[in-house]
Amino acid sequence: MEVAFLRVAASSNYHAKGVGENDILIIATARLHGAELVSDEERQPTTPQVPAKRKIPAVCALPTVSVSCINFLEYIKRSEEVFR
């Protein structure tokens, strides 16, 4: 992952609607283990220019991060489980 992005997201420029330090740790852990990340954060139509305003799916989609990210409903559908 880009160290510069991590510094910006974790700095005093943090934006309440963007990723925080915990989110970055979760994304890094998913990447390290080659796992798919499940997040209920909505996808942003365009990637914000200000890195601190990017949500988890936008960060996961960055070419330098490249972590698969799906929402919870998609995860349940893929499981093909039947809940009664």
In a domain, 84, yes or no: no
In a domain, 19, yes or no: yes
pLDDT at 13: 59
Domain count, the chain: 1
Please, is 27 exposed, middle or buried when counting C-beta atoms within 10 Å of its C-beta (0-12, 13-18, 19+)? buried
- What is the tens place of the pLDDT at every residue in 29-71? 999 999 999 999 999 999 888 888 899 999 999 999 999 999 9
Closest CA to 62 of 53, 54, 71: 54
Instruction: Grade residue 15 by pLDDT with cuts at 50, 70 and 90.
Output: low
| Strand 37-38 relative to strand 69-70, pairing | parallel
Residue 78 has pLDDT above 50, yes or no: yes
In a domain, 32, yes or no: yes
Structural domain of residue 47, as residue ranges? 3-79
Q: What is the pTM of this model?
A: 0.75
In a domain, 23, yes or no: yes
Instruction: Grade residue 24 by pLDDT with cuts at 50, 70 and 90.
Output: very high
In a domain, 22, yes or no: yes
